[in-house]
Amino acid sequence: MSTLISLPDQSTARVPKKNYITNENGIMSWLLTGDHKRIAILYLISLTFFFFIGGAMAALIRLELLTPQSDLMASDTYNKVFTMHGIVMIFFFLVPSVPATLGNFLVPLMVGARDLAFPKINLLSWYLYMAGGCLALYAMITGGVDTGWTFTTPLSTHYVNTNVVTTGLAAFIAGFSSIFTGLNFIVTIHRMRAPGMTWFKMPLFLWANYAAAILMVLATPVVAIAIVLVALERTVGIGVFDPTKGGDPLLFQHLFWFYSHPAVYIMILPGMGVISEVISTFARKRVFGYSAVAFSSVAIAIFGFFVWAHHMFIMGVSNYAALVFSLLTMLVAVPSAIKIFNWTFTLYKGSITFETPMLYAFGFMGLFTIGGLTGVFLGVSGTDIHLTETYFIVAHFHFVMVGGMLMAFLSGIHFWWPKMTGRMYPEKISQLAAVVTFIGFNFTFFPQFLLGMLGMPRRYAAYPPEFQVLNVFSTAGASILGVGYLLPVLYLIWSLKYGQVAGDNPWQATGLEWQIQSPPLTENFTEIPVVTQDVYDYEWLERQKEHEVTHVG
Amino acid sequence: MSEITEVPESHGEHIVSPKVYALIFLALLVGTAITVGASYIDLGPWNPVIALAIAVTKATLVVLYFMHVKYSSKLMKLTVLSGVFTFLILVGMSLSDYISRAWGQW
Amino acid sequence: MDSHATAHSEAHEHPAHLRHHFMDAAQQKESATFGMWLFLLTEIMFFGGLFTAYLVYRNWYYPAFVAGSHTLDIKLGMFNTLLLITSSFTMAMGVWCSETRRKSGLVWSLIATIILGIGFLGIKTIEYKEKFELHHVPGSSFSAASFVNPPLDAQGKPKDTPLAPDMAIHTEVYFSLYFAMTGMHAVHMILGIAILFALLIKSAKGQYTTGHNTTIELFGLYWHFVDIVWIFLFPLLYLISRH
């Protein structure tokens, strides 16, 4: 199989001695850093930690569901486990995943700046993230919470006696971390672009992160106030959502989903940005319909504000509102489909190679398409009434979030790993991991579509025995999936010391970040670049190389 | 603008004079007086409309002059408008549910 | 100093407050102002959730909202509005003083702003205290009795229209929103006053009158925003059907 990887001669090549990792030493130089690349690494480590906490919860859930009876744990323990799985995975992994790691690392590099606009706020956002995460863990250890990640009232305000306030506070704090990341990205992309870097010369990764950042800034505060009101209702007894006083519990859901639906796009949009970069690089072509893909990101962000009540069709919203929200929901399918079609056209007649990031990207395209199309079932209010609160919906959002987002995250981590560390990961085993993940994923979640269609409700520890076969499939798949996620951790750590030296541009990609040394210097660019070439201009890259050969070599 | 560029920190920046601030201050005081006065007159459904209209006018004055948006770049103006727009989505789309609940089934 | 800093100081003046990753002071200032505005957008949406709740319940429980609103002291509310608008004016003057490098003007403007802000909170405390005495604070001690049987005035007539008991209990929703909205606003005031003290100390040392006054301007934006929230809260909470 052909490959496009071009590495420097390993006998002479060295990782540059002076780079952002070696610039300063000692733990304090990391904890007090203002360098966006170091903050990205801090985020990467802590995100991975929380991912495996959430993953352990998922393993417990799947083990419990291996048998129809609730035998591994009592029902209320099960409630706490799936709640913490949701809270950890959503607030502490999915929402910050790509923006806080790859975004933090790459946004300044891609726009040609020395750092994000507000380095201190960037560091603050990591501390807030850690504070929120630790608080959530504390709440988990001291009794947990069992409302589901949605904190639905009046369950959360009246009927449970678990750590709702502490966990809510954790989500509130994590929300501010997310707001600050988004704010930083918007200002950086507007105000810090290098000379010549016009909006339509920006890599699509930036467009996607920009769109997600808009959502972070505008949607997150609404869930913050909703959580504050829930906390006030529990602690001092104000009655905004309390039906006994005349409050409307559904209003909580309006406010909650006003954030939490756009939050889905906060999670997926940056992933889509990664896929654009990867597909283009490994097909050696400019992304087909560049501006359509760019605007579709912004369109998803804007439409994302108009559809939230499709989470509430069976909760008692008016029929008329359900109809309007159902129709508006269909709108989101348009920009999403534009992206999928354009990536496919990018592949058409491209010189495709199948390195690990590309394998993950293919996984993303397939799984995201399934996840997106099943979303249409759920967006139509008629079928939603049958399918909502069943395993169909669980399968749907896992296809989008795990199959889509996590695949994109892993794709991006592999793609930019050589830039972040200066070393290559082992190619063969990582390809194996990508394939194992894909197989394990489908085994885990495809049976859940069937289970949902058959009517198995979500969020119960026990189920009728006729559902067992499919559940066993699902649990077996989950163990394969677990292996698929553990492998990258092992070989990526291994590669830090033993990986091949990557050189500046192992993928021969066109982005600004690939034209500097890996790992980059603390100041990124010795001189602020002046951008003259178009985005994804592979001919320009060829000419650059010829130029180097004739003039330097 | 050529003479301004010598002082980098006031590049492209408009200093609003105290006279303008004082005028806006007066307008805000008058607005407060009108809004209190109007609330004592029975105008039926127009009472809340007038109260909100005055509040929006006062807020606009503060945003444009005290917060310098009138003298800021297009980007700032768009930013403020996008905030108002999203706020209206939140209120409008939420109310779309509450208003139509009373219409019952079809 | 690192190499890059010297590299671009050739092209530009390099004032001490310019952070290394910005190309020039104008870019830094624009970025900071833009960032502050984005933060204020999050504040708009934060209060937006409360305003949504207010609109929903005001339409549902209009008589309860009227009755609840009539228990608020319109004079205190109006006086507080004056205090806050004036403090916005003094803050705007502070920004002007820092732009035109008038140190003592800036210091006195900030002092005035602090005093007006504390005055506002003081009056708010008096209003809150009255609500506790009347059992109008939502929670276990709340009582809607005074809305079913309103207190009598000197002529022996009830001060306000009595409410049916099932509507009267919804006054608790009104007071929940009243406390949530004014409480969130007060939290923002307290934070603002704390920051004002820090700014005051620094401006007394002359820090913001040397040409680099971004911090003062950004804080001004915040303070005016808090003022705007009150501009809406006052008519919405105090002035429902006063005729």
Q: Kindly tell me if the per-residue pLDDT of C5 is higher than 80.
A: no
Region B56-83 average pLDDT: 95
Per the CB < 8 Å rule, is A239 touching C47?
Answer: no
Q: Using a CB–CB cutoff of 8 Å, tell me whether A317 touches chain B.
A: yes
Q: Residue A162 in contact with residue A145, Cβ under 8 Å? A: yes
Cis status of the peptide bond prior to A68, with omega within 30 of 0: no
Distance from the Cα of C188 to chain A's closest Cα (Å) equals 14
CA angle A259, A262, A268 (to 5 degrees): 135
Amino acid sitting at position C189: M
Find chain A residues with C-beta within 8 A of C177's C-beta.
Answer: 240
Domain-located, residue C6: no
The interaxial angle of helices C25-60 and B74-101, nearest 10 deg, is 20
Nearest Cβ partner for C140 among A115, A218, A237:
A237
**C11 vs A232, which has greater pLDDT?**
A232
Return the domain boundaries, chain B: 1-72, 73-106
78-97 in C: which are within 8 Å (CB) of B? 78, 81-82, 85-86, 88-89, 91-93, 96
Helix, strand, or coil here: C158?
A: strand
CB contact under 8 A, B94 and A254: yes
> How sure is the predictor about C161, in pLDDT bands with cuts at 50, 70 and 90?
confident
Please report the pLDDT score of residue C8 as a whole number. Answer: 42
- Contact yes or no for A187 and C38 at CB 8 A: yes
**Cα–Cα distance measured from residue A467 to residue A532, given in angstroms and rounded to the nearest whole number:** 60
Listed by number, the residues of chain C in 42-61 with a beta carbon closer than 8 Å to a beta carbon of chain A are: 42-43, 45-50, 52-53, 56-57, 60-61
**Across the strands, what pairs with A524?**
A521
Please list every residue in chain A whose beta carbon sits closer than 8 Å to the beta carbon of residue C176.
Answer: 238-240, 245, 247
What is the end-to-end Cα distance of chain C in Å, rounded? 69
What pLDDT, on the 0 to 100 scale, is given for residue A1?
Answer: 54
Asked if the model's pLDDT at residue C2 lies above 70, the reply is no
Whether A496 shows a pLDDT value over 90: the answer reads: yes
Interval A342-376: pLDDT, tens: 999 999 999 999 999 999 999 999 999 999 999 99
Q: Is A319 on the interface with B (CB under 8 A)?
A: yes
Instruction: Report C:24-83 residues touching B (Cβ under 8 A).
Output: 24-26, 29-30, 33-34, 37-38, 40-41, 44-45, 48-49, 51-52, 55-56, 59-60, 74, 78, 81-82
In degrees, rounded to 5, the angle at the alpha carbon of residue B12 between the alpha carbons of residues B6 and B17 is: 105
Spatial distance between the Cα atoms of A402 and A101, rounded to a whole number of angstroms: 17
Q: Residue type at C105?
A: G
Touching check for B103 and chain A: CB below 8 Å?
A: yes
DSSP A521: B
- Give the distance from residue B62's alpha carbon to the nearest chain C alpha carbon, in angstroms: 7
Q: Does A258 touch chain B (CB under 8 A)?
A: yes
Q: Which residues span the domain enclosing C136? A: 23-238
Contact B76 C51 (CB under 8 A): no
Interface of A with C in 84-123 (CB under 8 A): 108, 113-119, 121
* Cα–Cα dist A437/A247, whole Å: 46
Q: Smallest Cβ distance to C21: which of A113, A226, A229? A: A113
Indicate the number of domains in chain C: 1
Q: How far apart are CA C74 and CA A175, in angstroms?
A: 37
As a dihedral over the C-alpha atoms of residue C212, residue C218, residue C223, residue C225, rounded to 10 degrees, the angle is 150
If one compares C53 and C150, the residue with the highest pLDDT of the two is C53
Interchain proximity B97–A308, CB inside 8 Å: no
- pLDDT tens digits for range A227-272: 999 999 999 989 899 999 999 999 999 999 999 999 999 999 999 9
Query: Is B96 in Cβ contact with A218 (below 8 Å)?
Result: no
Q: In this predicted structure, what is the pLDDT of residue C118?
A: 98
Chain A residues 39-98 within an 8 A CB cutoff of chain B: none
Q: Cα–Cα distance between B104 and B99 in angstroms, integer?
A: 10
How would you class C118 by CB atoms within 10 Å of its CB: exposed for 0-12, middle for 13-18, buried for 19 or more? middle
> Cα distance from A41 to chain B (closest Cα, Å)?
31
Contact yes or no for B96 and A321 at CB 8 A: yes
Nearest residue in chain B measured CA to CA from C87: B25
ipTM value > 0.90:
yes
Q: Among residues 18-77 of chain B, which lie with CB inside 8 Å of chain A?
A: 75
Cβ of B62 and C231 within 8 Å? yes
pLDDT for the residue numbered B5: 35
Tell me if B76 and C37 make a contact (CB, 8 A cut-off).
yes
Cα C70 to Cα C66: distance, rounded to the nearest angstrom: 6
CB-based contact A319:A375 (threshold 8 Å): no
pLDDT for A394-405, tens place per residue?
999 999 999 999
Interval A440-469: pLDDT, tens: 999 999 999 999 999 999 999 999 999 999
Q: What are phi and psi for residue A247, nearest 5 degrees? A: -75, 165
Unique residue bearing structure tokens 């949607």: A219
Q: How confident is the model at residue C18 (pLDDT cuts 50, 70, 90)?
A: confident
Q: Are A507 and A480 in contact (CB under 8 A)?
A: no
3-state secondary structure A267-333: HHHHHHHHHHHHHHHHHCCCCCCHHHHHHHHHHHHHHHHHCHHHHCCCCCCCHHHHHHHHHHHHHHH
Q: Which fold has domain A27-551?
A: Cytochrome C Oxidase; Chain A (1.20.210)
C226, part of any domain: yes
Taking only the tens place, the pLDDT of each residue in A31-75 is 999 999 999 999 999 999 999 999 999 999 999 999 999 999 999
Residues in chain C within 8 Å Cβ distance of B7: 211
Interface touch A321/B100, C-beta < 8 Å: yes
| Amino acid A160: pLDDT | 87
CA distance A395 to A383: 15
Q: Which of C104, C132, C116, C48 is nearest to C80 (CA)?
A: C116
Rounded to the nearest angstrom, the gap between the alpha carbon of residue A221 and the centroid of all alpha carbons in its chain is 20
Residue C26: its chain B contacts at CB < 8 A? 8-9, 11-12
Tell me what pLDDT residue B13 has: 66
Give the relative orientation of helices A407-421 and A104-111 as an angle to the nearest 10 degrees.
Answer: 60
pLDDT single digits (tens) C68-80: 999 999 999 999 9
A317:B97 CB<8 A: yes
How far is residue B12 from each of residues A132, B2, B5, measured CA to CA in Å?
Answer: 41, 10, 8
**Distance from the Cα of residue A49 to its chain's centroid:** 15
Output the average pLDDT for chain A: 94
**CA dist., res. C68 & res. A419, Å (int):** 62
A15-22: Cβ within 8 A, 24+ apart: A15/A422, A15/A423, A15/A501, A15/A518, A15/A519, A16/A422, A16/A517, A16/A518, A16/A519, A18/A521, A19/A422, A19/A517, A19/A518, A19/A519, A19/A520, A19/A521, A19/A522, A20/A519, A20/A520, A20/A521, A20/A522, A21/A421, A21/A519
User: Is A107 within 8 Å of A185 (Cβ atoms)?
Assistant: yes
What distance in Å separates the CA atoms of residue A301 and residue A176, rounded to the nearest whole number? Answer: 19
Q: What radius of gyration do chain A's Cα atoms show?
A: 23
Give me the mean pLDDT over the A495-517 stretch.
93
Q: Across all residues in chain C, what is the average pLDDT?
A: 90
Distance CA C109, CA C98 (A): 10
C34 touches chain A (CB under 8 A): yes
- Dihedral (CA of A388, A393, A396, A402) sign: positive
- Of chain A residues 8-67, which have a CB less than 8 A from chain C? none
- The answer to whether the beta carbons of residues A5 and A355 sit under 8 Å apart is yes
What pLDDT is stored for residue B104 in this prediction?
74
* Residues in contact with A154: Cβ distance below 8 Å, sequence separation at least 6, in sequence order: A241, A242, A243, A249
Cα nearest neighbour of A251 on chain C: C53
Do residues B16 and C217 make contact, with C-beta atoms less than 8 angstroms apart?
A: no
Which CATH number do you get for residue C151? Answer: 1.20.120.80
What pLDDT score does A396 carry? 97
Q: For residues A196 and A532, is the Cβ–Cβ distance under 8 A?
A: yes
Instruction: Determine, yes or no, domain membership for C12.
Output: no
- Respond yes or no on whether the N-terminal peptide bond of residue A154 is cis (omega within 30° of 0): yes
For residue C200, being part of any structural domain is answered with yes
Confidence of residue C135 (pLDDT cuts 50, 70, 90): very high
Distance CA A246, CA C171 (A): 9
Beta-carbon contacts below 8 Å between A and C:
134
DSSP state at residue A503: -
Confidence (pLDDT) at C11:
43
Size of interface A-B (CB pairs under 8 A): 40
Both tokens assigned to A525: 């660019």
Q: Which residues in chain A have Cβ-Cβ distances shorter than 8 Å to B101?
A: 317-318, 321
Whether B32 contacts chain C with CB within 8 A: yes
Question: Which phi and psi (to 5°) does residue A24 adopt?
Answer: -135, 155
pLDDT > 90: what percent of chain B?
Answer: 75
pLDDT at position A176 = 96
- What are the φ/ψ torsions at residue C136 (nearest 5 degrees)? -100, 10
Q: How many CB pairs under 8 A join B and C?
A: 147
Q: Which partners does chain A have (≥3 C-beta pairs < 8 Å)?
A: B, C
Query: Which residue of C42, C55, C142, C188 to mutate against A (max A Cβ within 10 Å)?
Result: C42
Region C196-224: mean pLDDT is: 93
The residues spanned by each domain of chain A are: 27-551
Q: What are phi and psi of C241, to 5 degrees?
A: 45, 65
